[in-house]
């Protein structure tokens, strides 16, 4: 089965700083990859997805992620953090064998300091 | 597009009682997914439907859990004889044709078993 590792359960940055949230997956077979954002007491919202097209994927709210097969990574970045970016971010990967279920990481809580 | 609707938003129940949650997906979406999220964890897959057919179930879905999607529209998730370990956020999501496109999540039902 697939597994997802998100390094850093908490990341804290200053407003305007670069944000880097790390995600590594286990399979050597390129999967479908997703980043979701969750605001307090809300469901998850899709930020962006990689589905075997361009390796650099742009999403909503100024976020982007780069798929690196050799590193089995799909890190999420934004060049300039806004206060409104404070939330929890989840990386997810499609499971093996064609299943449509997603395997999620444990999440990274992003704090943006003024 | 009214989004994915889940009811109730919150449910407090006594141990041993049965509870039922409802999910109304986006109307043209034929895939429907249930996930469970506990504090500090990412969502864990429970089950998913294509129209009215339940295509996959997690082993997390013990005999006390059952899900239905009659007529391929709304879905219900029932938990019988609730235990304290069932306390979690139950998330429903839907997708148009395939989970590989990414899901649209509802806001979830938070279950507290006392």
Closest residue, chain A, to B40 (C-alpha) = A106
Yes or no: say if B21 and A77 are a contact pair by the CB < 8 Å rule.
no
> Closest to B98 (Cβ–Cβ): which among A43, A45, A100?
A100
- CB-count exposure of residue A58 (10 Å: 0-12, 13-18, 19+): exposed
> Closest approach of chain A CAs to the CA of B45, in angstroms?
7
Lowest mean pLDDT among A13-27, A79-93, B3-17, B95-109: B95-109
> Closest to A43 (Cβ–Cβ): which among B40, B102, B106?
B106
Query: pLDDT tens across B100-112, in order?
Result: 888 999 999 999 9
Across the interface, do A43 and B101 touch by the CB < 8 Å criterion?
no
Across the interface, do B42 and A42 touch by the CB < 8 Å criterion?
no
Q: How many interface pairs between A and B have CB atoms less than 8 angstroms apart? A: 66
pLDDT at B3: 93
Of A99 and A103, the structure prediction assigns the larger pLDDT to A103
> Closest approach of chain A CAs to the CA of B80, in angstroms?
24
**Cis before B112 (ω within 30):** no
Instruction: Note the Cα B58 to chain centre separation in Å.
Output: 12
Across the interface, do A104 and B42 touch by the CB < 8 Å criterion?
yes
DSSP of A22-37: --EE--SS---EEEEE
pLDDT at A34: 95
A102 pLDDT band, cuts 50/70/90, is: very high
* Mean pLDDT for the stretch of residues A14-41: 91
Query: pLDDT tens across B15-32, in order?
Result: 999 999 999 999 989 999
Disruptive mutation site among B67, B100, B110 for chain A (greatest number of A CBs within 10 Å): B100
Yes or no: say if B33 and B93 are a contact pair by the CB < 8 Å rule.
yes
B1 pLDDT band, cuts 50/70/90, is: low
pLDDT at B2: 75
Cα distances from A13 to residues A40, A83, A90, in angstroms, run 19, 10, 18
> Closest to B56 (Cβ–Cβ): which among A101, A103, A104?
A101
For chain B, helix (H) and strand (E) counts, in that order, are 0, 11
Query: pLDDT tens across B34-85, in order?
Result: 999 999 899 999 999 999 999 999 987 889 999 999 988 999 999 999 999 9
Across the interface, do A43 and B56 touch by the CB < 8 Å criterion?
no
- What is the rounded end-to-end Cα distance, in angstroms, of chain A? 41
Query: pLDDT tens across A36-94, in order?
Result: 999 987 889 999 999 877 889 999 999 999 999 889 999 999 999 999 999 999 999 98
Beta carbons within 10 angstroms of residue B26's beta carbon: 17
Across the interface, do B107 and A43 touch by the CB < 8 Å criterion?
yes
Residues from A in contact with B at Cβ < 8 Å: 4, 9, 32, 34, 36, 41-46, 49, 51, 90, 92, 94-95, 99-107
Yes or no: say if B79 and B65 are a contact pair by the CB < 8 Å rule.
yes
């Amino acid at each position: 089965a697939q597994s997802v590792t998100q390094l850093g359960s908490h990341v804290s940055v200053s407003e305007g700083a670069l944000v880097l949230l790390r995600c590594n997956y286990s399979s050597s077979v390129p999967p479908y990859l997703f980043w979701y954002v969750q605001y307090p007491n809300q469901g998850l919202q899709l930020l962006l997805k990689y589905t075997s097209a361009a390796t650099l994927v742009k999403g909503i709210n100024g976020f982007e992620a780069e798929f690196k097969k050799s590193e089995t990574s799909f890190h999420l970045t934004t060049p300039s953090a806004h206060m409104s970016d404070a939330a929890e971010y989840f990386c997810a990967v499609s499971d093996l064998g064609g299943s449509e279920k997603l395997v999620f990481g444990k999440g990274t809580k992003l704090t943006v300091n003024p | 597009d009214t989004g994915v609707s889940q009811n109730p938003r919150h449910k407090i129940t006594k141990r041993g009682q049965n509870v039922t949650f409802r999910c109304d997906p986006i109307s043209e979406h034929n895939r429907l997914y249930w996930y469970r999220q506990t504090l500090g964890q990412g969502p864990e897959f429970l089950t998913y439907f294509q129209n009215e057919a339940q295509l996959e179930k997690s082993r997390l879905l013990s005999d006390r859990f059952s899900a239905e999607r009659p007529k391929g529209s709304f879905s219900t998730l029932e938990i019988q004889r609730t235990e304290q370990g069932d306390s979690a956020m139950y998330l429903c999501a839907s997708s148009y044709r395939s989970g590989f496109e990414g899901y649209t999540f509802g806001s979830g039902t938070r279950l507290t078993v006392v």
